[in-house]
Chains A and B, each alone.
Chain A
């Protein structure tokens, strides 16, 4: 009697599991990789929120051709080794169809070989343009590349009759990328780089270097670095009372800069995407509406502000969703669909990808900013 009961139980259990499994809806799995802890978490957490918010909306509206998507999140911790493990896991264990992220250029560099080897369509929302130069078959990016930002800065210098420029940059991938871009773009605008030097990215006092800059006859200074050094450069720059206009990297649009530097920031230039100054753009600007709608939707849902980093995730998600609809689950077709994206109006600009352009944006996506009365204001 007991034995029979047992057999009955086992059979029921197996049948139940079987039917439940069959009933579970199929879904399209998308990996979403962001820094959720550590120094760059301020960029990663809103990106994760954004992707969640949009996936929810997409699934409510019927998903990808009737199939819901499932987002699998991981935390890069801002570290290369962690992210390499995450990518291997996403591809081999989680079996994702495509990946969105990461946001940190130095981390993205480390995972590109894995993406290429396993042939997973991936849209990064990292800034460094060297990530898609030369073009990698499976890697695309949103966010404004540093070459576009610098191109805009140099053209702004040209328009203010600057001829001689001093360049200081940090000794890391961010600094090197910018440095190479400046050196190759400068001649397009007839600018001479008369002084050029690199410094360590964790420097806390740059007066000796800036003192050398002060004595050159450069008419403008570019300081290209990220993390804490934009603050150090700006404060030391004012302490040395250097009169030349200062152009700092777009990393200064992050939350640290204006709070940390205070009134020293007054008059500093940078160039970046339209996101930060969207409210002051003319209504004719095609991206203004997209940015403001996104910002409102995000604020309504999470009671905090989105930022330019999560805006990159917004664009990546939309481009990916459109490609998934065309690709019908085939990774190769999804990749081709991303590459054929034309005229997508996003928060960063109008994206036109192509076989030899996986960044999709032009200089028109970039706006010059200047600190006026303690806030970044877009200028002409």
Chain B
């Protein structure tokens, strides 16, 4: 019973970190542009697949293949920004959404031709021997993923709280017109958010491919889970995205361990739907005022 719970926690930590990393990428772009980027999972897929070629097939050393993989993915991310984001043009949010879904299909479709339809994997960074801990086991690669999540989370909190650049990015998300009147280059900030988000997704892909394997279509599923985690945590909240990811995976682990793996998605999504019904802004979401309430605050 206790070891079951520990094993479930280990699973939740490693899988939750994957969801959290995707969710963080979604939140980063959402914060700067209000766009929900459904192509976020494709950055993860690209990260994994490019590494498969550079590190797995061509045996390039890690210190060459990792930076190169990130650079290629960031270029794709910047390309995505160029096609989806047009300041000043009167494009509705739903159009942005459709553009990112389309981009996601284009990227995965191209990946199918660049690579193939097979499932790939490259060797983990610190071997394959599982670590025994309190009667349960955890793969060394899981520790890499959890570690990356902690580092990224710490960096993003620091970035948005204590750096001018982070604060400027936040300002752009709050009111783009006001931010540009104050002399902030909104377009540059948006570019930065896409670049950071794709680098983040790519890093996640590099970390998780040795564990879960990757194929050209692996991005979409991750994007859905990551997006759900971001919603659950409260769209726009950095900490919320991570918490959402962990809650999501912990629910999955508990369902499988104590009920049945047949019901995994059912139970998990039932809980999430209910949370969002009663807390529409998610767990850490900002309470914003809209409509009549907003008018009243103006008069005060």
Say how far B8's CB is from chain A's closest CB, in angstroms: 6
Assign chain B's interface to a size class. 20 to 34
Say how far A184's CB is from chain B's closest CB, in angstroms: 20
As a 0/1 sequence over residues 225 to 259 of chain A, the CB contacts with chain B under 8 angstroms (1 = contact) are 00010011001001111000000000000011001
Which of A93-101, A198-206, A277-285, A372-380 touches B?
A198-206
The verdict on B271 contacting chain A, using a C-beta distance below 8 Å, is no
Q: Is the CB of B261 within 8 A of A200?
A: yes
The verdict on A294 contacting chain B, using a C-beta distance below 8 Å, is no
Say how far B246's CB is from chain A's closest CB, in angstroms: 15
Instruction: Determine the distance from Cα of A205 to Cα of B256 in the docked complex, in whole angstroms.
Output: 11
Given A39-B117, A209-B256, A212-B257, decide whether A232 and B11 contact each other with a Cβ distance below 8 A.
Answer: no
Q: Which of A153-206 contact B (CB under 8 A)?
A: 171, 197-200, 202-206
Instruction: Determine the distance from Cα of A356 to Cα of B182 in the docked complex, in whole angstroms.
Output: 82
A-B contact count (CB 8 A): 87
Residues of B within 8 A of A263 (CB): 128
Kindly identify which residue among B14, B130, B217, B252 contacts A241, using a CB–CB cutoff of 8 Å.
B130
The verdict on A341 contacting chain B, using a C-beta distance below 8 Å, is no
The verdict on B265 contacting chain A, using a C-beta distance below 8 Å, is yes
Say how far B121's CB is from chain A's closest CB, in angstroms: 5
Residues of A within 8 A of B119 (CB): 228, 231, 256, 260
Say how far B283's CB is from chain A's closest CB, in angstroms: 24
Given A42-B117, A205-B211, A228-B119, decide whether A198 and B261 contact each other with a Cβ distance below 8 A.
Answer: yes
Q: Is the CB of B261 within 8 A of A41?
A: no
Given A208-B11, A260-B120, decide whether A200 and B265 contact each other with a Cβ distance below 8 A.
Answer: yes
The verdict on B15 contacting chain A, using a C-beta distance below 8 Å, is yes
Residues of B within 8 A of A231 (CB): 119, 121, 213
Q: Is the CB of B117 within 8 A of A204?
A: no
Kindly identify which residue among A207, A239, A262 contacts B123, using a CB–CB cutoff of 8 Å.
A262
Say how far B240's CB is from chain A's closest CB, in angstroms: 23
State the majority secondary structure of interface residues on A: helix
State the majority secondary structure of interface residues on B: helix
Instruction: Determine the distance from Cα of A255 to Cα of B8 in the docked complex, in whole angstroms.
Output: 32
Say how far A240's CB is from chain B's closest CB, in angstroms: 6
The verdict on B228 contacting chain A, using a C-beta distance below 8 Å, is no
As a 0/1 sequence over residues 273 to 293 of chain B, the CB contacts with chain A under 8 angstroms (1 = contact) are 000000000000000000000
The residue in chain B whose Cβ has the minimal distance to the Cβ of A38 is B117
The verdict on B156 contacting chain A, using a C-beta distance below 8 Å, is no
Residues of A within 8 A of B136 (CB): 211
The verdict on A73 contacting chain B, using a C-beta distance below 8 Å, is no
Say how far A187's CB is from chain B's closest CB, in angstroms: 24
Say how far A252's CB is from chain B's closest CB, in angstroms: 12
The residue in chain B whose Cβ has the minimal distance to the Cβ of A199 is B261
Q: Is the CB of B118 within 8 A of A256?
A: yes
Q: Which of B11-40 contact A (CB under 8 A)?
A: 11, 14-15
Q: Which of A122-156 contact B (CB under 8 A)?
A: none
Known contacts A205-B11, A235-B213, then 16 further A-B pairs from the complex at CB < 8 Å, ordered by chain A residue = A40-B117, A197-B261, A199-B264, A204-B213, A204-B221, A207-B7, A207-B10, A208-B11, A209-B256, A211-B257, A231-B121, A239-B139, A241-B137, A256-B119, A262-B123, A263-B128
- Can you list 29 contacts pairing A with B, beta carbon distance less than 8 Å? A38-B117, A39-B117, A197-B262, A199-B262, A199-B264, A200-B261, A203-B261, A205-B14, A205-B212, A207-B11, A208-B8, A208-B11, A208-B252, A208-B253, A211-B257, A212-B257, A228-B119, A228-B213, A228-B215, A239-B130, A241-B130, A241-B137, A256-B118, A259-B118, A259-B120, A260-B121, A260-B213, A261-B121, A264-B128
Instruction: Tell me the B residues contacting A by CB distance below 8 Å.
Output: 4, 7-8, 10-11, 14-15, 117-121, 123, 128, 130, 136-137, 139, 211-213, 215, 217-218, 221, 252-253, 256-257, 260-262, 264-265
